[in-house]
Structure 1
Amino acid sequence: MTTPIKTLIIDDHVPIVEAFERSLSHLNSNSHFVFEVDSATDCDSAILKIEESIKEDKSYHLFFLDISLPPSEDRKFLCGEDVGRRIRELYKNAKIIVFTHHSDSFRISNIFNSINPEGFLIKSEAGFSHFIDAIKNVLNDTPYYTKTVLELLRNNMVSDLVLDEKDRMLLHELSKGTKMKDLPRIINLSMGGIEHRKRNLIEIFNIKKKDDKSLIELAREKGFV
């Protein structure tokens, strides 16, 4: 008897979840793969299912991960990228297929450097056949990327620069309008450390007008907030 591939779909859009479920159902009927499927719609529900599966010794083998997820209530997980990092901490051999609308080269680079997914699908480029091909390739230990991602890799445009958890938390809080005087308490950095990180982000994004509004506008454009 074939051991089921325990799969978690993490996406806050019901049609996307259903599309992945149809793909898995198709493979159940037309291949040697057998899937046991679960889903989560935000960071909180995803982390709960992931950590419960570890405790119950029912580990997931395959993850479909949207990057633009509602953050956790405690703000420890701001988006799917943070969830992906947690998956990598807990599951050494699991496969991750990222599915996102972000096509900015810097954002894609950051996802690669922090998660290193086995599959990477840009939503505007992916349909049912791509889902099927991505699942089959990844489960056979072959990476699968859609056109934009492949072009970045082929042209060596994937950067080594990575925005870490505190960088992304800083951008998130600035986008909410949090006052500078309150940031050290929230991010657990000194005011000097926060100012240094903000200057570094302005330099990384190559922002001419060095103010918070310009920083947030560009961070939002690149999909970090």
Structure 2
Amino acid sequence: MTGRTKILLVDDHQLILEGILSYLKDIDGLEIETANSCDEAFHKIKSSLQENPFHIIFTDLSFDNQYNNRVLDSGESLIKAICKEEIPIKVGVITGHSETNRIFNVIHNLNPLAYILKGKCSTDELTFAIRKMLKDEIYYTHEIHEKLLKRALVEIQMDDIAIQILKELPKHAKIANLEGLIKKEDGSLVKVRSIESKLSKLRADLQVNNNTHLVLKAKELGIVD
């Protein structure tokens, strides 16, 4: 890498920070600082803007909030604050969160340039990610990329009625019991024959043999909780 790249690492677990630092120390041209909370990180970013601004921030998503007076209590809130004030810093996530819904929401709503999983990153991966980010290019860990692809394929097949059915299905012994519970956008009720037809299509789309496996697959893909 040419020139020096100033990076801020944000995590409330010191051992995690030290682990990431151990990978970054082998990359030439980096100036690295750390923060243990989102408030501390935001203060460092703001106070450095005039003289020696950070180029990249890597933040976790979840933080143990031991103090009630914290303003920014998660990586999401930190990223939102950065975006709201239009601070020119490239944002990446290094986290243990690999749940499809969390990944999808963070990437869809906050648009980080990188999403990397703790415990699986390496010097090579971080080097590659930083190079991509400095060029305003996206880098996602392979596992994250795969989950996003699966979710995108399924999103095409999903609509509000399908999600209603998948949420209600585990609560009832018979499909007939769903009649009267599933509603269209106009408020009219979906008949049991239409529910059965929708389930048949969903089983085919998700390549499962029965409704139990259908619900499990939907949870695995983060379509329902």
Scaled by the length of structure 2, the TM-score of the pair is 0.60
Rounded to whole Å, the distance in 2 between the matches of 1:152 and 1:109 is: 9
User: Post-superposition shift, 1:42?
Assistant: 1.1
Report the equivalent of 2:48: 53
**Unmatched 5+ residue regions in structure 1?**
29-33, 160-202, 210-221
Scaled by the length of structure 1, the TM-score of the pair is 0.60
Rounded to whole Å, the distance in 1 between the matches of 2:167 and 2:51 is: 46
Assess, with a 3 A threshold, how the Cα gap between structure 1 residues 91 and 61 changes in structure 2: closer, same or farther.
farther
Percent of aligned pairs sharing the same letter:
30
Report the equivalent of 2:5: 5
Report the equivalent of 2:24: 24
2:62 counterpart (64, 68, 71): 68
Question: What CA deviation, in whole Å up to 9, does each residue of 1:187-221 have, x standing for no partner?
Answer: xxxxxxxxxxxxxxxx8x94878xxxxxxxxxxxx
RMSD of aligned alpha carbons: 3.1
Alignment of 1:119-198 (within 5 A): 119-155=114-150, 156=152
Question: 1:43 aligned to 2:69?
Answer: no
Contact 1:109–1:158 (8 Å) recurs in 2: no
1:94 counterpart (86, 89, 93): 89
Rounded to whole Å, the distance in 1 between the matches of 2:154 and 2:133 is: 21
Q: Quick one: which amino acid aligns to residue 59 of structure 2?
A: L
Question: What CA deviation, in whole Å up to 9, does each residue of 1:129-172 have, x standing for no partner?
Answer: 3223222222233311112211123231697xxxxxxxxxxxxx
Large movers: runs of 4+ above 6 Å: none
Assess, with a 3 A threshold, how the Cα gap between structure 1 residues 66 and 102 changes in structure 2: closer, same or farther.
same
Q: Quick one: which amino acid aligns to residue 85 of structure 1?
A: K
**Unmatched 5+ residue regions in structure 2?**
156-163, 172-221
Question: What CA deviation, in whole Å up to 9, does each residue of 1:57-107 have, x standing for no partner?
Answer: 432110111111234643432211111111223345422220111111111
Structure of greater Rg: 2
Assess, with a 3 A threshold, how the Cα gap between structure 1 residues 85 and 51 changes in structure 2: closer, same or farther.
same
